[in-house]
Structure 1
Amino acid sequence: MSASRSRQAAADLLIETLDNRRTLDEAMELSETYGALTGPDRGFARAMASAALRQLGRIDKGLAPFLNRPIETAVPPARALLRIGAAQSWILDTPAHAVVSETVNAAKQWARARSASGFLNAVLRKAVNDRTAFDAAPTTSVWPDWLTVELMTSLGVEGASALARLQMEEPDLDLTVRDEGFAEDLAKRIGAKRVGLGSLRVASGDVAGVEGYRAGDWWVQDAAAAIPAQLLGIESGQTVFDLCAAPGGKTMQIAAMGAKTVAVDRSRTRLQRLEENLERIGLQDRVEIVADNAETWSPDALADAVLLDAPCSAFGTLRRHPEGAWIKGPDDIARFPGVQLRLLKAAARLVKPGGTIVYCVCTPLKREGADVLDAALKETGLQRAPINAEEAGAFADGLTGKGDLLTLPQEGFAHDAFFISRLRRTA
């Protein structure tokens, strides 16, 4: 019975995510079916949903030979259970008989899917014994076609394929340590390795169970996400504005460096998360929080440096949030460059002459990175302050000819894809 409930919950997570366009985290909060599970059953449901989302496009191509109509025409519960069953068979290596029997049982015991049990039985009996179409599907078909085109346009076939391969694997957990002098000792105690510019990497798992969580010794932050704050070149006591700051990983980095930190974000909900994170780490007294639109915010004095982690498509984080490829569309992406340019112009207004701005987006799309930057340089008194190989460290292969940084995945070193540029205000 618990196996059936787990499959029902996994299917419900897919419905919440794909049909209602929610993140997987939001789906887990909202799904009553998932919420009713506990312990291993809950972990099993999440693992199945995550596996399906990581390779959704390939799963649909793998199932196509066994369907008379496109999978999108099936009712949501049947469609979701079919994808979960295929993910179990082709990705999680669940025995064929268990995939068929437990998925069909899940349908029979779920009022929303009961009428589809015969359909599921017929399709899965064939699918579990023939993964030919799944294996033949291109790596980049993990995404919808329009996104594959976008990423290939920005990165080329090889770059896009590398990003797709990265998405297929569950990511490790990267930590930023509050006190760098404590990092080596902590790494030994928790069995972590040093990666990037000093991050600690441990196997994915229960975050709260890792030593130092309750003491506020570290926070979760991808190794690539930890780069921008380190490029500010700030000194203790200087004033730094962190624009679009929530949920606060970079804010905490800046505060831990001893800067007078002002975190600005228009979302009060996200700022609440930032406040909670600051309290756990013990940095709440070092940060001023401002609930305002960074485009129009007008402080009493200018900053020595500004960090702008601008809203973006977030396609550089698909290895951690694979549903992002399916809950966003071309129209959603089209609005970001305008927002990013306006925010960069605001950052130029908020920093002192001679001050530093670091602009970053967690996406490799050229239209949100280099194109936005080029437009800002034409319309503001900003100039590039090129990032050098020593500063980029393990990410130096991603340096462009202009001194920007694109953190694409490397052999043996998985991380998110960021575009990062450092600028100076000249007037």
Structure 2
Amino acid sequence: MSASKSRQAAADLLIETLDNRRTLDEAMELSETYGALTGPDRGFARAMASAALRQLGRIDKGLAPFLNRPIETAVPPARALLRIGAAQSWILDTPAHAVVSETVNAAKHWARARSASGFLNAVLRKAVNDRTAFDAAPVTSVWPDWLTVELMTSLGVEGASALARLQMEEPDLDLTVRDEGFAEDLAKRIGAKRVGLGSLRVASGDVAGVEGYRAGDWWVQDAAAAIPAQLLGIEPGQTVFDLCAAPGGKTMQIAAMGAKTVAVDRSKTRLQRVEENLERTGLQDGVEIVAANAETWSPGEQADAVLLDAPCSAFGTLRRHPEGAWIKGPDDIARFPEVQLRLLKAAAGLVKPGGTIVYCVCTPLKREGADVVAAALKDTELERAPISAEEAGPFASALTGAGDLLTLPLGDFAHDAFFISRLRRKA
């Protein structure tokens, strides 16, 4: 396979994500060019696309001095190849001659880009020799300007900058172990370290190649994402509703605790993944799968506890899905708080008096977290059940004055940004 094919595939992935508004995972499934690659060629294509997405805003600022007009005015293939070329040179340290020659060769795949070969060649020759503007760009310029304003408003400069720095690096892989009694032994066997409230952390790589995957001994789940289920305080045999359950990490946690678990999600397709994960881990017998809208679902019984992982902007997971900053816009995220509030109010009617609700979103935006909870407390029979420092463990510094958690990556280890609030229905 020629080296230009990897560049072609990487550019194709960028077009699928940025122009067709797909996730990188979806793009990799859809791209025939990427799918035709194997081994190191495929790995390099993914690395180029990922690097470009992680620092897209900085790359565009770095390229600007070499362009006569905004990069967005270039045809999609040429625009993607410029970004892929810059990512190779400035982030992946690819030799300059390969960056220029192979990236320009990749343009031959697209009729609209062939005529731009001279333009690509001229710009990339300058870029490989001058990264001044790229290096000078603020760390938060990895995002579009509107998102930088949003995150700085919610987190301040320090918090937003910490998120941006994390996004620039490939994240490690966090695992939740099905049986905590075997966690230490498994950690030794796979060379993992313990982080958070018991998660195992290994270097990023082929998930299926890690010992215990096929046996269902663990599942992939960020250390911060593992917190909400642990705050439910449930006992074996109790009934727990997991609302908006897909892809199922929290469902498996609850089932592993011995609870009668009902996993609810409106997407039948996403619930198939939940079922697959439950079968792989051997936890399917204790879980009922329900395809329903949690806002209107009426189960005929109330639960001892409810976990609501509400749909959100997901800006706390940009280190894993950096394309999220670019395939969503202000109008897309403006609708979330209203949906989240409706779901939380619905959850209040699904839990027994005295029962617990844990509300969480994988975003640090205040309007999707603390503001939603404050609104729900005014209109429901819910009250706060503050999270204690002992329960939060290594996340104790993330506790807010109200007893919620906002897990910003400012401590000793990297993790996703989550807002988590524990509530109780008044008896």
Query: For this structure pair, what is the TM-score category when the shorter chain's length is used for normalisation?
Result: over 0.9
Cα deviation for residue 108 of structure 1 reads 3.1
Q: Tell me the residue number matched to 1:242.
A: 242
Report if aligned partners of 2:159, 2:410 keep a CA contact under 8 Å in 1: no
Cα deviation for residue 52 of structure 1 reads 0.1
Structure 1 gap ranges (5+): none
Query: C-alpha separation between the residues in 1 aligned to 2:128 and 2:412?
Result: 32
Q: Report the secondary structure of 1:356's partner residue.
A: strand
Q: Report the secondary structure of 2:111's partner residue.
A: coil
Cα deviation for residue 113 of structure 1 reads 2.3
Cα deviation for residue 104 of structure 1 reads 1.2
Larger deviation: 94-103 or 251-260?
94-103
Query: C-alpha separation between the residues in 2 aligned to 1:365 and 1:22?
Result: 22
Instruction: Give the paired residue count.
Output: 427
Query: C-alpha separation between the residues in 2 aligned to 1:172 and 1:299?
Result: 39
Cα deviation for residue 309 of structure 1 reads 0.2
Report if aligned partners of 1:8, 1:110 keep a CA contact under 8 Å in 2: no
Query: C-alpha separation between the residues in 2 aligned to 1:27 and 1:51?
Result: 15
Q: Deviations over 1:179-210 (max 9, x none)?
A: 00000000000000000000000000000000
Q: Deviations over 1:140-181 (max 9, x none)?
A: 000000000000000001110010000000000000000000
Cα deviation for residue 411 of structure 1 reads 4.3
Cα deviation for residue 106 of structure 1 reads 1.4
Query: C-alpha separation between the residues in 2 aligned to 1:361 and 1:418?
Result: 6
Cα deviation for residue 98 of structure 1 reads 1.3
How much identity, in percent, do the aligned residues show? 93
Query: C-alpha separation between the residues in 1 aligned to 2:106 and 2:296?
Result: 52
Q: Deviations over 1:316-340 (max 9, x none)?
A: 0000000000000000100000000
Query: C-alpha separation between the residues in 2 aligned to 1:175 and 1:236?
Result: 23
Structure 2 gap ranges (5+): none
Q: TM-score, normalised by structure 1?
A: 0.99
Cα deviation for residue 22 of structure 1 reads 0.3
Report if aligned partners of 2:75, 2:112 keep a CA contact under 8 Å in 1: no
Going from structure 1 to structure 2, the CA distance change for 1:243 and 1:109 (only over 3 Å counts) comes to: closer
Q: Is 1:3 aligned to 2:3, yes or no? A: yes
Computed over aligned residues only, the root mean square deviation of the Cα atoms, in angstroms, reads 0.8
Report if aligned partners of 1:407, 1:419 keep a CA contact under 8 Å in 2: yes
Cα deviation for residue 111 of structure 1 reads 3.9
Q: Deviations over 1:31-78 (max 9, x none)?
A: 111111111111110000000000000000000000000000000000
Report if aligned partners of 2:344, 2:376 keep a CA contact under 8 Å in 1: yes
Cα deviation for residue 311 of structure 1 reads 0.2
Q: Tell me the residue number matched to 1:308.
A: 308
Q: How does 1:221-240 map to 2 (within 5 A)?
A: 221-240=221-240
Going from structure 1 to structure 2, the CA distance change for 1:112 and 1:40 (only over 3 Å counts) comes to: farther
Cα deviation for residue 109 of structure 1 reads 4.9
Q: Deviations over 1:216-256 (max 9, x none)?
A: 00000000000000000000000000000011000000000
Cα deviation for residue 97 of structure 1 reads 1.4
Q: Tell me the residue number matched to 1:129.
A: 129
Query: C-alpha separation between the residues in 2 aligned to 1:371 and 1:258?
Result: 33
Q: Report the secondary structure of 1:354's partner residue.
A: strand
Cα deviation for residue 352 of structure 1 reads 0.1
Cα deviation for residue 112 of structure 1 reads 4.5
Q: Tell me the residue number matched to 2:68.
A: 68
Cα deviation for residue 374 of structure 1 reads 0.2
Going from structure 1 to structure 2, the CA distance change for 1:211 and 1:112 (only over 3 Å counts) comes to: farther
